[in-house]
Amino acid sequence: MIEPAHIRRFRDRLGEVQAELSRPAEPGRGGRFKALMAEHVRLKELVARADRYFARLDEARSSRALRDDPATDAELRELAAADLARLEAELPAAEKDLRVALLPPDPSENRGIIMEIRAGTGGDEAALFAADLYRMYVKYAERRGWTVSPVDASASAGGGYKEVIFSIEGAAVYRDLRYESGVHRVQRVPETEAQGRVHTSAATVAVLPEADEIDEIELKPDEVRMDLYRASGPGGQKVNKTESAVRLTHLPTGIVVQSQDERSQARNKDKALRVLKARLLDHHRQEEARRTGATRRSQIGSGDRSERIRTYNFPQNRVTDHRINLTLYRLDQVIEGDLDELLRRLYACDVEAQLKAATDAP
């Protein structure tokens, strides 16, 4: 059972956050204000769930006392027993909702993302599959009202993508799409296959939360080399006669990013910097995890890009997520951006794993 005293500190913190948010705005406080707003939303929901849980507990105690009181007349005792049965049926779900709210929040869950899709084994078919995945995520983002901005793309001769990089901005983007990092495998008959044989190819997806002001990602001018070149389209044709494409190299880590989607050099540089900061944030987090020996919070959403996470089987109209042993026979809808059920089930399994870890912890 969750004790009210455990919730008291969250109530106190909610009051502190509300007081700080009510203060007049100060210059340079943008990042701090955004973090406070996110904390306020989380704490407000936590306290609301706690109120619902403890209200049901109090009602159950009252109904139990009324039912067990010898002085209670039979009709009232029967009503109290019915209320108690209802409340006891509702309490486990209310307690679970509260325990979920008490889980440590992911500081990145409300951020936008940089998504990178790269063709793997399978030649042109893998590049076509990478293009299908890109289209799938764009369609899902449109369904959610998110904003997609291309950053860079390397087209293949067969019409797909060797690599495509883009950003997605909106509410809770990273929270919902963080589970997509990993190897996606496709099984289908290529258009060039005369004998109807099913081929298997793959693409790798990386989901990086965008760096924020609070991350303090420092980019020293002497540590970043900028190269300019002419942007090109599929087949190598020039789409810009000026050197508007930008390539940035972070010398200490060797991380290289580029952007050529915009005709403006300045806008391409801004996009490249966003990707570079996201990759540096990801690099720092991985280094910290290795240094401290930190283990993955759960198998789901670990961000391990070498892990095969999903198979898309077109002949059987089947999509299987291997992490949670979930198979859906509606790949035609999923590939058109209907990812809601997949992502909802992944989130639910991730939460269950976190609750179990929290329960098992000493």
For the domain 221-292, what is the CATH code?
3.30.160.20
Residue type present at position 362: P
pTM, rounded to two decimals: 0.81
- Give the confidence band of 299 by pLDDT, cuts at 50, 70, 90: very low
Q: Which residue has the tokens 């943008």?
A: 30
What integer pLDDT is reported at residue 29 of this predicted model? 61
Question: Which residues make beta-bridge pairs with 203?
Answer: 119, 184
- Give the confidence band of 295 by pLDDT, cuts at 50, 70, 90: very low
339-354 core/surface letters (b: 16 or more CB in 10 A; e: else): beebbebbbebbbebb
What are the DSSP calls for 8-30, one per residue? HHHHHHHHHHHHHHTSPP-TT-H
State whether residue 329 is helix, strand or coil.
coil
What integer pLDDT is reported at residue 261 of this predicted model? 82
Which whole number is the average pLDDT over 55-76? 93
**What is the layout of strands, in order, in the sheet containing 245-250?**
224-229, 245-250, 255-259
Which whole number is the average pLDDT over 301-322? 85
Most confident among 110-114, 133-137, 175-179, 225-229 (mean pLDDT): 133-137
- Reply yes or no on whether the pLDDT at 6 is more than 80: yes
Most confident among 182-186, 237-241, 250-254 (mean pLDDT): 182-186
Higher pLDDT, 213 or 181: 181
% the chain with pLDDT above 70: 88
Local structure of residue 338 (DSSP, 8 states): -
| Residue 299: C-alpha distances to residues 33, 303, 319, 322 (Å) | 33, 9, 19, 11
What integer pLDDT is reported at residue 236 of this predicted model? 41
State whether residue 216 is helix, strand or coil.
coil
Phi, psi of 75 (to 5 degrees): -65, -45
User: What is the separation, in whole angstroms, between the first and last Cα of the chain?
Assistant: 16
% the chain with pLDDT above 90: 58
What integer pLDDT is reported at residue 297 of this predicted model? 46
Q: Write out the H or E segment, with its range, that includes residue 152.
A: strand 147-155
272: burial class by Cβ within 10 Å (0-12, 13-18, 19+)? Answer: buried
Q: Which residue has the tokens 């976190």?
A: 354
Question: Alpha-carbon dihedral of residues 138, 142, 147, 153, nearest 10 degrees?
Answer: 20
Q: Write out the H or E segment, with its range, that includes residue 61.
A: helix 30-68
Contacts of 28 (CB under 8 A, 6+ apart): none
Residues recorded for the chain:
362
Most confident among 105-109, 169-173, 229-233, 335-339 (mean pLDDT): 335-339
What integer pLDDT is reported at residue 145 of this predicted model? 96
For 125-174, how does the pLDDT look when each residue is reduced to its tens digit (9 = 90+)?
999 999 999 999 999 999 999 999 999 999 998 889 999 999 999 988 99
Question: How far apart are the C-alpha atoms of 243 and 263, rounded to whole Å?
Answer: 9
What integer pLDDT is reported at residue 237 of this predicted model? 43
Question: How far apart are the C-alpha atoms of 27 and 36, rounded to whole Å?
Answer: 15
What integer pLDDT is reported at residue 359 of this predicted model? 74
Could you tell me the fold of the domain covering 113-215+303-355? Alpha-Beta Plaits (3.30.70)
Higher pLDDT, 99 or 234: 99
For 16-45, how does the pLDDT look when each residue is reduced to its tens digit (9 = 90+)?
999 998 888 766 566 677 778 888 989 999
